């Protein structure tokens, strides 16, 4: 009976799938503990210590690392496809990110430039590693199963996040790590977690080797040549290009939640333990959110699923802006009820988990298997550029307050939903299949 509930039941290459999922679990320590939960608060309260510019400095620091990923992603993806080195680059980015994450514990009060020099490469490596991880998806599953594979992996990552939250909260209570200045041991723990769960990927994940008969020009030449070929045939991939443009807009909302969730929670009066519980609520809702792509996206359709989830986020963001405005104009903001924020947090978490998984599967559905790293490199470019687009949110928050910043965010989400309406799912799939047929040589089998 229980075996029937296993989402990956009946799929081939179970060991390959689980070694891939293991990396999704590994990098949760960075995206959750560092980016979402602790480091943004540590950066503002320990490193910057200036409320007049801390939001903007954090947005600029995060966005700078994302801009570097934007510049590197397309070429790195094209080279990885050309030389079949996705696994090598995935592991290099993962293990180096783990090392820099441990290094965050070295940052002292006021050491802004040390924080930048350690955080920028860590976030760059984590973010570009996400691209290489996602690029394996078309190799590991047939198109009709992409939704459940991506959703199940995302759900496993969220369960890992819950465990991380429990361990973090336990450490805070057991060792008295209540102030941001005492969180450094948690940074070391996050790096070690990343390293440990990347080991199964090192040992067991395989990728298609490059065809032996293919000429091997220099790396940069091969990468630019492959990108030029894609640009030359861009009209045939207009649906995935439209999806990328929409993803840029609603990806800004996802980046804002990752960057500012802890900051917003503290702004509304949450202490450190409540902060962990709030992120836990978002995480539990994220687990529930991944169930929709896991069980229904392949049947409901990628576009319909995306529009449904965007609708949830648009309504939630509008409610959040209204709550922030009412609280700001209350006679005693500190006494204003916080229970609506817990409800909003649930809906935000639901959208964050489900929309992230659904988008990864949607891109995989429209991606030629012969160009998976290249297209997911472009996917990474889009979502990292979305992080750069959070600068208007940070500026609006410092200049005009949280309600105005949330209205800016609402505009991004609405525009992303409108663009998604123009994606033709069937036409995009036909273009991807035609590109695979045009590919000069069939993909060699994955080594056993």
Model confidence pLDDT, tens digit, residues 236-259: 788 988 999 999 988 887 777 766
CA 83 to chain centre: 25
Model confidence at 191, pLDDT cuts 50, 70, 90, reads very high
More confident residue, 105 or 214: 105
Model confidence at 415, pLDDT cuts 50, 70, 90, reads very high
Token couple for 153: 């992996």
Model confidence at 25, pLDDT cuts 50, 70, 90, reads very high
More confident residue, 4 or 385: 385
Question: How many Å apart are CA 422 and CA 141, to the nearest integer?
Answer: 26
**Three-state SS at 446:** coil
Q: Say what the pTM is.
A: 0.73
Q: Give the torsion sign (CA, 163, 168, 174, 175).
A: positive
Asked if pLDDT for residue 192 goes beyond 70, the answer is yes
Residues whose CB is less than 8 angstroms from the CB of residue 50 and which lie 6 or more positions away in sequence, other chains included: 57
Question: How many Å apart are CA 397 and CA 59, to the nearest integer?
Answer: 11
pLDDT tens-digit readout, 35-59:
877 898 899 889 988 777 777 788 7
pLDDT tens-digit readout, 63-82:
788 788 877 877 777 777 66
Asked if pLDDT for residue 422 goes beyond 90, the answer is yes
Model confidence at 234, pLDDT cuts 50, 70, 90, reads low
Token couple for 156: 């496993």
- What mean pLDDT do residues 398-411 have? 85
For residues 210 and 345, the answer to whether their CB atoms sit within 8 Å is no
Model confidence at 441, pLDDT cuts 50, 70, 90, reads very low
Query: What angle is formed at CA 89 by the lines to CA 193 and CA 120, rounded to 5 degrees?
Result: 65
pLDDT tens-digit readout, 284-341:
787 777 777 777 788 888 999 999 989 988 888 888 888 888 888 887 877 778 778 7
> Any alpha helices (H) in 177-216, and if so which ranges?
184-204
Per-residue model confidence (pLDDT) at position 444 = 44
Asked if pLDDT for residue 210 goes beyond 80, the answer is no
More confident residue, 24 or 397: 24
Per-residue model confidence (pLDDT) at position 224 = 58
Task: Please classify residue 352 by burial: count the beta carbons closer than 10 Å to its beta carbon, then call 0-12 exposed, 13-18 middle and 19+ buried.
Answer: buried
pLDDT tens-digit readout, 91-101:
999 999 999 99
For residues 276 and 168, the answer to whether their CB atoms sit within 8 Å is yes
Per-residue model confidence (pLDDT) at position 448 = 45
Model confidence at 233, pLDDT cuts 50, 70, 90, reads low
More confident residue, 216 or 250: 250
Question: How many Å apart are CA 165 and CA 367, to the nearest integer?
Answer: 34
Question: How many Å apart are CA 278 and CA 262, to the nearest integer?
Answer: 9
More confident residue, 402 or 203: 203
**For all residues of the chain together, what is the average pLDDT?**
81
Kindly report which listed range (17-31, 183-197, 282-296) carries the lowest average pLDDT score. Answer: 282-296
- What mean pLDDT do residues 278-286 have? 77
- What mean pLDDT do residues 173-200 have? 92
Question: How many Å apart are CA 439 and CA 183, to the nearest integer?
Answer: 51
Per-residue model confidence (pLDDT) at position 437 = 78
pLDDT tens-digit readout, 194-206:
999 999 999 999 8
Kindly report which listed range (173-182, 264-273, 386-395) carries the lowest average pLDDT score. Answer: 264-273
Question: How many Å apart are CA 428 and CA 430, to the nearest integer?
Answer: 5
With a pLDDT cut of 70, the percent of the chain lying above it is: 88
Residues whose CB is less than 8 angstroms from the CB of residue 210 and which lie 6 or more positions away in sequence, other chains included: 82, 83, 84, 444
Asked if pLDDT for residue 446 goes beyond 70, the answer is no
């Amino acid at each position: 009976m229980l075996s029937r509930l296993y989402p990956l039941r009946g799929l081939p290459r179970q060991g390959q799938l689980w070694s891939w999922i293991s990396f999704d679990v590994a990098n949760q320590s960075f995206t959750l503990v560092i980016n979402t939960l602790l480091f943004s608060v540590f950066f503002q309260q320990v490193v910057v210590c200036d409320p007049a510019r801390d939001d903007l400095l954090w947005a600029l620091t995060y966005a700078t690392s994302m801009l570097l990923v934007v510049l590197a992603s397309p070429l790195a993806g094209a080279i990885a496809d050309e030389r079949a080195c996705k696994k090598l680059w995935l592991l290099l980015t993962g293990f180096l990110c783990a090392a820099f994450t441990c290094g965050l514990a070295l940052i002292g009060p006021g050491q802004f430039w040390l924080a930048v020099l350690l955080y920028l490469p860590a976030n760059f490596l984590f973010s570009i590693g996400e691209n290489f991880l996602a690029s394996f998806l078309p190799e590991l599953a047939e198109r009709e199963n992409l939704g459940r594979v991506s959703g199940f992996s995302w759900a496993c990552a969220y369960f890992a996040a819950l465990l991380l939250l429990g361990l973090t909260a336990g450490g805070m209570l057991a060792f008295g790590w209540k102030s941001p200045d005492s969180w450094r041991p948690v940074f070391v723990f996050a790096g070690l977690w990343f390293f440990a769960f990347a080991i199964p990927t090192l040992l067991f994940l395989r990728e298609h080797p490059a065809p032996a008969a293919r000429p091997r020009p220099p790396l940069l030449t091969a990468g630019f040549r492959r990108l030029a070929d894609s640009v030359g045939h861009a009209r045939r991939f207009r649906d995935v290009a439209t999806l990328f443009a929409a993803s840029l807009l609603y990806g800004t909302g996802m980046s804002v939640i990752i960057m500012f969730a802890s900051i917003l929670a503290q702004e509304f009066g949450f202490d450190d333990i409540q902060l962990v519980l709030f992120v836990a609520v978002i995480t539990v809702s994220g687990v529930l959110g991944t169930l929709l792509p896991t069980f229904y996206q392949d049947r409901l359709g990628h576009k319909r699923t995306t529009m449904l989830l965007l609708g949830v986020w648009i309504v939630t963001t509008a409610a959040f802006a209204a709550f922030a405005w009412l609280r700001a104009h209350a006679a005693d903001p500190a006494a204003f009820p916080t229970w609506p924020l817990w409800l909003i947090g649930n809906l935000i978490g639901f959208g964050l988990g489900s929309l992230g998984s659904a988008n990864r599967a949607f891109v995989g559905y429209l991606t030629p298997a012969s160009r998976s790293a290249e297209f997911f490199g472009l996917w990474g470019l889009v979502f990292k550029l979305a992080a750069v687009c959070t600068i208007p949110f940070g500026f609006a928050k410092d200049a005009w307050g949280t309600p105005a910043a949330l209205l800016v965010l609402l505009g991004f989400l609405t525009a992303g939903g409108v663009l998604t309406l123009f994606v033709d799912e069937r036409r995009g799939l036909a273009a991807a299949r035609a590109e695979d047929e045009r590919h000069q040589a069939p993909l060699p089998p994955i080594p056993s």
